[in-house]
A and B are shown apart, each in its own frame.
Chain A
Amino acid sequence: MSSVKINERILEGITKNSGGDEVIKDFLINLIYEEADHPGQWWWKDTYKKLIDRFSADWEVGDEN
């Protein structure tokens, strides 16, 4: 579990602006936690690509409400 707390408003904002698209929401929240857990320089490209591959596989265009 991430040791860093994420500002609740960010999590709420992502949820709201996703418009019901759970995949996008979960994806972004995962990204946020990755960023929070890796302050400073880190090799982010691989992590981003893996997350994109994983989440986009379950996503369809027009998944938002």
Chain B
Amino acid sequence: MAKLPDRLDIDKSDRKLYDHDTITNEILAGRTRKEQFLFAMAVGFKNEVKRPLDSREGFFLAKDMRSEDEALIDSVAIHDMGSAEVLSDRKAVFRIAEEYAHAGIKVLYDEATSVQPGSFLKKLELELFSLLDSLNLE
């Protein structure tokens, strides 16, 4: 069996985005690296963008993920590949998550630097309400 990946990576260029004031003080204020990553991944997924990483560096350890966190990245992988078979390939699952996160953090950064301080969360709130209406939660 191939060695299981023990961490999830980000593109090296993304570090400064994750550390940007607006990201750290507002949008992802008080969140762990894992939570930041998963949120960026969700943003990338919602915006249907993912990008392969050019250069890698570790962001957080896989063992820090709880079952909910794994369920999220597994769901993303299943949706991306169209079948559950991808779940046997952890490397592939992680890669998909990383690519969505790589695109997502860029989207977040662009949003954060283009709006008034405090507006991103307000915008997110409105978008989620609108998303809620369009989703079929049953």
Per the CB under 8 Å rule, do A and B touch in the complex? Answer: no
Taking Cβ atoms with an 8 Å cutoff, the residues of B that contact A are none
